[in-house]
Structure 1
């Protein structure tokens, strides 16, 4: 099995579809890599990944909006196609098994912490003490170590 992990920002709001009675959440992630070329000039290269998340947990879809930063993991697929001008092209797609919300647009507050995996229930985050401290500076007594 080949596994691919991507951290990036959503290019547009997700779309929920039903195919043969099964729900699929489709979205696109942009991952931008910064590097220096052979002359030492700073360069950027953006890779777009089309994602298909086959799941009944469509309640995640309102949080998959343009600009949100996410982590996705799944199986990659490369699709070849012919453009209208006759040239060939390829696209990278990912059959998603896990989605984790990482952040969002500047000034936005995170709506749902944790991850959603197809084979398990949504994670509740790292704080296993049963709640979130009301003050950031408040000490948490229930440390897992």
Structure 2
């Protein structure tokens, strides 16, 4: 089994689609690594990952907006294709099993929605909300 985990920012708002009666949430996550090259120059490398999350828990889609920082976990897939000019290309995609909202871009991981969505449970706290307000005791 291959498993991939990514923490990054959403490149645009998610899209909820219905395919053969099942819901899928599509979103794109960008992960940027900063490093110094052999000459000591600062460099950046951004990797984009197309994510597809097949779930009936589409309520989270209102929080999956451009710039939000997320953690996504699932199975990686590489799709190959041929461009219009005849060159080959590949896209890294992730079949998502779990998503956690971490915050907005530039917030350093401060929770905006303290949510953990997986196949078992789901709960969401809107921006400005307090997770303690949702505790059953």
Q: TM-score, normalised by structure 1?
A: 0.81
Taking the TM superposition and a 5 Å limit, the aligned residue runs for 1:17-36 are 17-36=17-36
Q: How many pairs align?
A: 126
User: Which ranges of 4 or more aligned residues in structure 1 deviate by more than 3 Å?
Assistant: none
Aligned to 2:116: 115
Unaligned runs of 5+ in 1: 133-145
Which of these two proteins has the greater Rg computed from alpha carbons? 1
Using the TM superposition, give the Cα deviation of residue 37 of structure 1 relative to its aligned residue in structure 2, in angstroms.
Answer: 1.1
Aligned to 1:131: 132
SS at match of 1:131: helix
Distance in structure 1 (CA, Å) of the matches to 2:3 and 2:124: 24
Aligned residues of 2:103 and 2:112 also touching (Cα < 8 A): no
Unaligned runs of 5+ in 2: 126-130
Taking the TM superposition and a 5 Å limit, the aligned residue runs for 1:1-145 are 1-105=1-105, 111-118=112-119, 120-122=120-122, 131=132
Distance in structure 2 (CA, Å) of the matches to 1:38 and 1:110: 36
